[in-house]
Amino acid sequence: MAKEKKQLPFSQAGLVNYTGEVKSGIIIKPEYVIILSVVIVFIEIALWRGVF
């Protein structure tokens, strides 16, 4: 039989933490995302100016 899913009321506006969900995928620290973004910006500026 299919597993029944519980429906939550809409009044919470998506601010609910669903602890029953399985966390999967790549987990990256926020610091690494910021560093990578800054590096990409510098590379784009260098390419735009014709350094490379």
Cβ(8)–Cβ(16) below 8 Å = yes
Boundaries of every domain in the chain: 28-52
| pTM, two decimal places | 0.51
Alpha carbon dihedral 34, 38, 44, 48, in 10-degree steps, equals: 150
Q: Residue 35 and residue 48: Cα distance in Å, rounded?
A: 20
pLDDT tens digit sequence for 10-41: 665 666 666 666 677 788 899 999 999 999 99
As a whole number of angstroms, the distance between CA 26 and CA 31 comes to: 15
Q: How far is CA 4 from CA 7, 9, 13, in A?
A: 9, 16, 22
